[in-house]
Structures are given as structure tokens and as C-alpha cells.
Amino acid sequence: MEWFRTAKTVIPENSSVSSDVGGSFGSVGFLNFYVDNGHCWGVELTREGEKLKEHAKRFESDGIYAEIPRKQWVILDFWRNTKQVIMPKKNFWYVLYSDDYKTVIIKRKDCDDIKLNL
């Protein structure tokens, strides 16, 4: 729920975030979060690398999210800061958080790391 509240503060103006969408688009799957109003962004959350392949398959053309209109999608994978991301993959953002939850480092394919102090 914290991600949902935070996302609402940074999404583009005149957009909204919905959680657990799927049924309203005729999908049997329930996408964690959806940013609408023309953006059509799909967001899935995971932790510690749990079932990453399964989550990625949901976004494929024959996956359970196929009926949900989307222009872009991302899987945010949350890890304690001990994780070494060797080869980041497209559409995966690795969020490495400190033990005290005051700092996160975001790692993405072909991008510089982003460090955020919370």
C-alpha cells in the first residue's frame, strides 16, 4: 500500500493509479498497479527475486495480462542491499534497500544507478 500512496504523488498530472486491475479489462490476472489516462503503464512488485520468470511471462502476448492495454511495463524487484545485480534485464528495476530502510539504490539496464535517501 505504501507504493500505491507514493506513486500517486509522482505520476503525471491528470493520471491515476489503480491497484489489482484485470477484471475490468477482461483479464484473468490481476496486475498490481496500473497508471491510466493514456499512459497505460503496468507495474508488478516482487521481492528477493521471487518468481521473476513467472511474473515476466504474465506480460507476454499470450500471458494473463495480455488483455490489459499497456504501452510500458516494469517489474520492481525489492532486495536487501546485499544483492549484486550482475546483468539487469529490460523491464526489471532492482530496488536495493538499506537495513534501516532510509536509502534505496535503483538498478536498471543501460542506466546509471539512482540513489534515493528516504
- 61-106, pLDDT tens digit by residue? 999 999 999 999 999 999 987 767 778 899 999 999 999 999 999 9
**33 three-state secondary structure:** strand
Helix (H) or strand (E) segment spanning residue 42: strand 41-47
Residue spans per domain, the chain: 2-93
Provide the pLDDT for residue 3.
76
62: CB partners within 8 A, 6+ apart: none
- Distance CA(5)–CA(102), nearest Å, equals 17
Task: Return the C-alpha cell found at 7.
Answer: 506513486
Distance CA(64)–CA(37), nearest Å, equals: 22
| pLDDT cut 90: percent of the chain above it | 72
